């Protein structure tokens, strides 16, 4: 600012005082922006920056911008980034934003329970990212909201999400309950992915994990519908129809009605709650669960109790399928 004043003072001394005062007033005069605006500021010299800002309607004159930038050179470099300029920003304010403003942060939320293919489509469609989208290995991305600056590569964002999952998985593995029938972190991740897809109710996750772990200890098949869906859909994680008998009987490596133990890999990305549930299950001796008609499940320890719960669920399904009774006139 002192340099601006010195230049203006020199202009006055040199007999161009009117021009100097006019320039000084222009430095603080409101700019043309009628509303705050996000602008991608390119790399380049003062001339290129001025032209870009003038084209975006941030300033009135690239020439005046260049003069002001040169006059305030000692106040710091100008940064290339996506920046937000306030409505009516003067040249002084524009230069402050260019020197001290933080780049605009974009956000991408990866929900729990998505498959690798679904995550790749989500990242591919995200605004502001650059480059191709690498399809991650199944289950290796931590569901979370990630912030990034415009121009960040999709590969960089995927790397961050993989590192986040590695850390979360290691943390829960290190604090796991003793005596789990899991050989390693990879098996824990598979189990967590099954828990994630079985229920959306947080309070049920530790109990469902306990059911699967109890069945593993007893050598029982896990009989998880979401694993059948994953295999039958080719890894997409969704079907356009209810599971059929032929799909339940198909010898797919993910069909836990046919294979013993865990499937060969995760079926989705589990969230942190599902990871904790898989490695810190509830204290339960339940071996079965079935839908209860309210979005949750009812659990059972014996086959007899389970069959009774299944019969109740079938009654609910039949009642829902019945047409409504005609209204009596």
User: Distance between terminal CA atoms of the chain?
Assistant: 85
pLDDT at residue 35, rounded to an integer: 93
User: Which residues make Cβ contacts (< 8 Å) with residue 144, sequence separation at least 6?
Assistant: 109, 110, 161, 164
Per-residue model confidence as pLDDT tens digits over 200-210: 899 999 999 99
**Do the strands 145-149 and 288-291 form a parallel or antiparallel pair, or are they unpaired?**
unpaired
pLDDT at residue 150, rounded to an integer: 93
* Whole-angstrom distance, CA of residue 322 vs CA of residue 42: 63
pTM assigned to the model: 0.81
Per-residue model confidence as pLDDT tens digits over 256-278: 999 999 999 999 999 999 999 99
Q: At residue 86, does pLDDT exceed 50?
A: yes
CA–CA–CA angle 245, 251, 254 (5° rounding): 95
* Whole-angstrom distance, CA of residue 3 vs CA of residue 76: 13
- pLDDT band for position 126 (cuts 50, 70, 90): very high
Greater confidence (81 vs 265) lies with 265
Average pLDDT estimate for 206-232: 96
pLDDT at residue 12, rounded to an integer: 43
Domains (range + CATH), the chain: 29-100 (3.30.1490), 105-164 (no CATH), 179-321 (no CATH)
The tokens describing 147, both together, are 């912030």
Per-residue model confidence as pLDDT tens digits over 18-32: 555 566 677 888 999
Please return the burial class of 170, using the count of CB atoms within 10 Å of its CB with bins 0-12, 13-18 and 19+. exposed
DSSP letters, 135-146, are: PPPTT-S---EE
Per-residue model confidence as pLDDT tens digits over 277-311: 999 999 999 999 998 888 889 999 999 999 998 88
pLDDT at residue 13, rounded to an integer: 43
H/E element holding 38? strand 37-40
Average pLDDT estimate for 174-195: 97
As a whole-number percent, the residues of the chain with pLDDT over 70 amount to 90
- Is 226 within 8 Å of 194 (Cβ atoms)? yes
Q: At residue 141, does pLDDT exceed 60?
A: yes
| Residue 163: CB atoms within 10 Å | 11
- pLDDT band for position 315 (cuts 50, 70, 90): confident
- Which residue's structure tokens are 């920003």? 89
Average pLDDT estimate for 317-325: 69
* Whole-angstrom distance, CA of residue 277 vs CA of residue 327: 48
User: Which residues make Cβ contacts (< 8 Å) with residue 12, sequence separation at least 6?
Assistant: 20, 21
Beta strands (DSSP E) in 75-213 are 82-85, 105-109, 145-149
Per-residue model confidence as pLDDT tens digits over 241-254: 888 999 998 989 99
Per-residue model confidence as pLDDT tens digits over 146-167: 999 999 999 999 999 999 999 9
What value does the mean pLDDT of the chain take?
A: 89
SS3 307: helix
pLDDT at residue 323, rounded to an integer: 62
Q: At residue 137, does pLDDT exceed 70?
A: yes
| Residue 299: CB atoms within 10 Å | 22
Q: How far out from the chain centre does Cα 270 lie?
A: 13
As a whole-number percent, the residues of the chain with pLDDT over 90 amount to 69
Instruction: Check residue 289 and report its DSSP letter.
Output: E
pLDDT at residue 22, rounded to an integer: 61
Average pLDDT estimate for 10-15: 46
Up-side HSE of residue 251: CA atoms within 13 Å toward CB?
0
């Amino acid at each position: 600012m002192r340099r601006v004043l010195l230049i203006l003072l020199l202009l006055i001394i040199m007999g161009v005082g009117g021009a100097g005062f006019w320039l000084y007033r222009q430095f603080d005069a409101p700019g043309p922006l009628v509303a705050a605006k996000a602008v991608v500021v390119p790399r380049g010299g003062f001339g290129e920056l001025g032209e870009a800002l003038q084209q975006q309607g941030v300033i009135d004159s690239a020439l005046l911008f260049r003069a002001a930038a040169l006059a305030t050179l000692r106040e710091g470099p100008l940064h290339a980034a996506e920046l937000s300029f306030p409505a009516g920003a003067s040249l002084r304010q524009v230069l402050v934003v260019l020197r001290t403003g933080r780049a605009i942060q974009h956000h991408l939320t990866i929900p729990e329970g998505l498959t690798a293919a679904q995550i790749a489509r989500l990242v591919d469609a995200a605004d502001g990212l650059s480059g191709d989208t690498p399809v991650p290995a199944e289950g290796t991305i931590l569901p979370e909201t990630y912030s990034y600056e415009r121009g960040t590569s999709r590969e960089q964002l995927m790397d961050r999400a993989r590192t986040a999952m590695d850390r979360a998985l290691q943390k829960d593995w290190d604090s796991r309950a003793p005596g789990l029938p899991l050989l390693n972190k990879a098996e824990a991740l598979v189990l967590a992915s099954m828990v994630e897809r079985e229920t959306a109710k947080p309070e049920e996750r530790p109990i469902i994990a306990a059911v699967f772990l109890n069945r593993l200890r007893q050598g029982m098949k896990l009989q998880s519908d979401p694993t059948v869906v994953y295999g039958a859909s080719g890894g997409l994680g969704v079907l356009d129809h209810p599971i059929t008998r032929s799909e339940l009987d198909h010898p797919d490596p993910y069909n836990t009605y046919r294979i013993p133990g865990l499937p060969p890999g995760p079926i989705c990305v589990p969230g942190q709650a599902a990871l904790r549930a898989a490695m810190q299950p509830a204290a339960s001796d339940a071996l079965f669960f079935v839908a209860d008609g309210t979005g949750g499940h009812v659990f059972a320890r014996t086959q007899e109790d389970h069959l009774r719960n299944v019969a109740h669920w079938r009654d609910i399904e039949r009642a829902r399928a019945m047409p409504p009774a005609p209204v009596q006139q």
